[in-house]
Amino acid sequence: MSTLKEKYRPRSLADVVGQPLVRQLQNLARNPKSCCVLLEGATGTGKSTCAQALANDLGCVEGWQESVYTLCAADLDAETARHYFGPASPFRFCAPGKGYHVLILEELEYMNKTVQVILKDALERLLAKYRVIVFATSNDSSALPKPVLHRFGLKFAMSAGQSFADSVNGWLATVWEHEVGKDVPMPVGYQQFGWESEEFSARLALDRLEKCVIRYKEQRN
């Protein structure tokens, strides 16, 4: 059984709520160009979701030998980075004119210094040779060296505040209706499901809503 996060994760940029940057990403999807995009923000604000949604809107297919590749920067050491970005790379980038590829680098702030140098040079080669859009996600990019940050010509800060919470809470009501029925009242206090201190997480809100859905269905049975 899939979780609510998996079931309701936006598949297209048109389905992403609460993030103003979506319009700019939709422009990029309509008029793609080789570039590097940095998405920075708290957990659960939609960084990875936006990157994957744009790839879907471009018609890319997930997989090492397809056209969407996802790597966690924390898992990269010098050897693996050279393997991924060197001549024997498992990425099957196409020649110009064959459509776009999307490379998603998760948690960029955890990349070690040696890998940062390898990545900086690799991005320069990729953008010069292929039609590729590179997304990097980061909770906090302040520790990254300037040569790496300069590779990312597009930088977006993801909202984690009240406006984002309001948008997600409206969407949560729709999820609840789909799961339990439109005549069942929303759980008391659901507006606070995604809050942790000053930041709101859609992922956390869905986790807590899911527990209410399970509890409701168990009571009915």
102, β-bridge pairs: 68, 133
CA–CA dist 55, 67 (Å, integer) = 9
pLDDT for the residue 139: 95
Q: How many Å separate Cα 102 from the centre of its chain?
A: 12
Query: For the packed helices 113-129 and 78-85, what is the interaxial angle rounded to 10 degrees?
Result: 0
CA distance 129 to 125: 6
Q: Which residue has the tokens 């948008």?
A: 167
Strands 68-72 and 154-157: unpaired
Tell me if the pTM is above 0.85: yes
Looking at domain 4-157, what is its CATH homologous superfamily? P-loop containing nucleotide triphosphate hydrolases (3.40.50.300)
CA contacts within 13 A on the Cβ side of 12: 6
Per-residue pLDDT of the chain (221 residues; tens, 9 = 90+): 579 999 999 999 999 999 999 999 999 999 999 999 999 999 999 999 999 999 999 999 877 567 899 999 999 999 999 988 887 787 777 655 668 999 999 999 999 999 999 999 999 888 888 889 999 999 999 988 888 899 999 999 999 999 999 999 999 999 999 999 999 999 999 999 999 999 999 999 999 999 999 999 999 88
- Domain ranges within the chain, ordered by starting residue: 4-157, 162-220
Give the type of residue at 143: A
Question: SS3 letters for 127-185?
Answer: HHHCCEEEEEEECCCCCCCHHHHCCCCEEEECCCCHHHHHHHHHHHHHHHHHHHCCCCC
